[in-house]
Amino acid sequence: MLRRRTLLKVIVLGDSGVGKTSLMNQYVHKKFSQQYKATIGADFVTKELQIDDRLVTLQIWDTAGQERFQSLGVSFYRGADCCVLVYDVNVMKSFDTLDNWHEEFLKQANPPDPKTFPFILLGNKIDIDGGNSRVVSEKKAKDWCASKGNIPYFETSAKEDYNVDGAFLCIAKTALANEHEQDIYFQGIPDAVSESDQRGGGGCAC
């Protein structure tokens, strides 16, 4: 059977403090810290996972939310397979700025087909105050996702490790659907028929 190793580049964006670094740490290292340490510039972590017959390396790029997009440089966006937008369900401003993050990503990354480029939205920190301090309803978030072409939506808690694996699996599957010509090597003899022929565009199969 064909086993392919695929590198997928995922970019995580959102306001400072929404929990981008915490979500990545929880997913990759199964660790959470209350301490806030602002991310400096941009950095990535990797995680290996198997999806069907594919070995997938997720390369997850973290940023500091307050960074100007321009200063991240073109190479930061080059070859992105998926963009993960994160907001804090307890902070309205972090939801209101999603439009800007979405627009700026498309402007900077300039994907060939902006309408079908895969995004995913994560509403984080749902654990706080048992949900009593949330100011953005699930419906409001889902309406926003619908207005952007049915972006998949997950509510998460990096602290409680709630929905983190599920969200990143969806991210990997969504990125896989957008991956093009990026397999880094084959194990075994490649089939004549590429798996890319079997892929659907855009949606999340999770």
Judged by the rule CB under 6 A, the positions of this chain that interact with ligand GDP are 16-22, 33-34, 36, 39, 65, 124-125, 127-128, 157-159
Contact residues toward Mg ion (CB under 5 A) are: 20-21, 39
Q: Which is nearer to ligand GDP, 46 or 110 (CB)?
A: 46
Q: How far is the CB of 59 from ligand GDP (least distance, A)?
A: 17
Strand stretches in 14-125, DSSP E: 42-51, 54-63, 82-88, 119-124
Smallest separation (angstroms) from ligand GDP to the CB of 191:
41
Element (H, E) at 9: strand 3-13
| 159: partner contacted, choices Mg ion, ligand GDP, none (Cβ within 5-8 A by kind) | ligand GDP
130-157: buried (b, 16+ CB within 10 Å) or exposed (e) per residue? eeeebebeeeebeebbeeeeebbbbbbb
Question: Alpha-carbon distance 119 to 40, whole Å?
Answer: 23
Residue 24 or 109: the one with the smaller Cβ distance to ligand GDP is: 24
Decide if 81 contacts 10 (C-beta within 8 A).
yes
Q: Which of 96, 85, 90 is nearest to 126 (CA)?
A: 90
Residue 33 interface partner, choices Mg ion, ligand GDP, none, CB cut-off 5-8 Å depending on type:
ligand GDP
Judged by beta carbon distances under 5 to 8 A according to partner kind, the member of ligand GDP, Mg ion, none in contact with residue 102 is none
Nearer to Mg ion (CB atom), residue 42 or residue 49? 42
CB of 11 to ligand GDP, least distance (A): 13
